[in-house]
Structure 1
Amino acid sequence: MKTLKNKTLPILLASIILIFGNSSCNSFKKLNKEQRGAIIGVGAGGALGAVIGSKSKNPAVYAIIGSAVGGVAGTFIGKYMDKQAEKIKKDLDVLADVERVGEGIKITMKSGVLFDFNSSVVNNQVNENLVKFAETLKQYPNTEILVAGHTDNVGTEQYNMKLSEQRAKAVSNVLKANNVSGNRLTVLGYGEKNPVAENIAESGREQNRRVEFAIVADEKLKKQAAKSERNYLQFVAE
């Protein structure tokens, strides 16, 4: 039995190295290149991202599921995200929905909370919460953050795309002004292309006017997680 484990271990370790060796330096790089509705990820995580993403049409979900590594390493990353998510819920209070999705965090803030009508200037009332949010992001530095702007379908598609980009950029600028590294932030506008509700009634349009964040592990955290997985597998094999 000992011999069997010793033969199996190199194969498992090779699989881990293959997955991490193919991962992008920035989990949102492919999302940037392919732009609207892109699916990102590597290995099994990317395949799962394609399945879930095709149903959700949600860039934040694409980003989170697509960057997943799974296994013991995924559990390690999940614990890192658990603590961060609890802190973010307190930071943003009732202003946002904070969800733990896979190995990441998805945050949704309504544009009506962040901005006045037809404006891309962040409301002063929410600045304090965004400052607290920025402080938490600095306490958990081993993450990458997608800031995605969305609108309803009122107005022209071109105008909505520009407004969504401006609003996502405005929020990211608040974070950067509070010393969140710009290298961690990927800012994209999606206009009216990714609704989460029907645009027929005002209640649906309100849900579609939003800024979403996807928080995923960066390369350093993934390597730490891989090391944790290798140590675990060696322990099991002994």
Structure 2
Amino acid sequence: MQTKLRSIILFILILAIAGCAQTQQAARTKTGQGAAIGAAAGALAGAVIGHQSGNRRTGAVIGGLAGAAIGGGIGYKLDQQAKELQQIKDAEVRREEDRLVVTMSEAILFDLNSTALKSGAKQQLEKMAEVMVRYPENDILVTGHTDNTGSEKYNQDLSERRAKAVKNYLVLKGISARRITSMGFGETMPVASNATPEGRQKNRRVEIEIKPRQQPAS
């Protein structure tokens, strides 16, 4: 029994390593990474299913192949969406594992201490919404951030209202309200030092996280 279990674990590891090799060969994208993660997860799930059906090795193979296909497809779509979002002025787009993060500075979006979107910001957010509408399988989280100037309570409230303003505008431009959530983090998540004007400016921002929706377990 233990010998069979070790064989299954070894087989899953081989699938995961093979998926990682595919990641390295992906041409400057992370599509392969999605395939690698999907292969490992699929192999594990397949092994469990195979155990229940009496054929664990076949279950692991099927699960690994299915997981790689699904993971690779998700990664490809995120790469494509990133390319489209990168065409939008003043939007800083980066890929973080299984999600995209779009950062827009306060200077682009709002006047000082204001929660009213600037006209130029509305134009950029409208273009962003046009891209997001084409990828309905993704959920969106809008987060507001401030520097540490002023009271903690004021900054928390300001960050929440700014995140909500961005969310509401994206909904107005066609994003389903069920797909999008907003949160404020105030001054608690700086990306630079608050000791300099340049650092404080970087910390005053809104981030839009785009992530494939998690499917409920059947």
**TM-score scaled by structure 2?**
0.69
- Of 54, 59, 63, the residue aligned with 1:10 is 59
Which residue number in structure 2 is paired with residue 101 of structure 1?
A: 96
How many residue pairs get matched? 165
Could you tell me whether the CA contact under 8 Å between 1:74 and 1:103 is conserved in 2?
no
Which residue number in structure 2 is paired with residue 155 of structure 1?
A: 150
Aligned-pair Cα RMSD in Å? 2.5
Matched position secondary structure for 2:86: helix
How far the C-alpha of 1:13 sits from its partner, in A, is 5.8
Which residue number in structure 2 is paired with residue 81 of structure 1?
A: 78
Which residue number in structure 1 is paired with residue 48 of structure 2?
A: none
Q: Which protein shows a greater Rg?
A: 2
Consecutive unaligned residues of structure 1, counting only runs of 5 or more, are 18-69, 224-238
Could you tell me whether the CA contact under 8 Å between 2:85 and 2:91 is conserved in 1?
no
Could you tell me whether the CA contact under 8 Å between 2:160 and 2:182 is conserved in 1?
yes
**CA deviation profile, 1:48-71 (whole Å, cap 9, x unmatched):** xxxxxxxxxxxxxxxxxxxxxx85
Could you tell me whether the CA contact under 8 Å between 1:110 and 1:210 is conserved in 2?
yes
How far the C-alpha of 1:7 sits from its partner, in A, is 3.9
| AA at the equivalent of 2:201 | E
How far the C-alpha of 1:218 sits from its partner, in A, is 1.1
Quickly say closer, same or farther: Cα 1:162–1:15, change in 2 above 3 A: farther
Cα distance between partner residues in 1 of 2:176 and 2:65? 29
How far the C-alpha of 1:204 sits from its partner, in A, is 0.4
Mapping for residues 32-181 of structure 1, pairs under 5 Å: 71-90=68-87, 92-93=88-89, 95-181=90-176
How far the C-alpha of 1:76 sits from its partner, in A, is 1.8
Cα distance between partner residues in 1 of 2:133 and 2:73? 19
Consecutive unaligned residues of structure 2, counting only runs of 5 or more, are 1-7, 12-54
Cα distance between partner residues in 1 of 2:161 and 2:144? 8
**TM-score scaled by structure 1?**
0.64
**CA deviation profile, 1:7-29 (whole Å, cap 9, x unmatched):** 41324667999xxxxxxxxxxxx
Which segments of structure 1 move beyond 3 Å, counting only runs of 4 or more?
Answer: 4-7, 11-17, 70-73
Cα distance between partner residues in 1 of 2:214 and 2:65? 14
Which residue number in structure 2 is paired with residue 195 of structure 1?
A: 190
**CA deviation profile, 1:156-194 (whole Å, cap 9, x unmatched):** 000000000000000111101011001111100000000
Cα distance between partner residues in 2 of 1:170 and 1:13? 46
Cα distance between partner residues in 2 of 1:214 and 1:71? 24
Could you tell me whether the CA contact under 8 Å between 2:115 and 2:162 is conserved in 1?
yes
Task: State which drifts further: 167-176 or 211-220.
Answer: 211-220
Q: Percent identity?
A: 39
Cα distance between partner residues in 2 of 1:87 and 1:111? 22
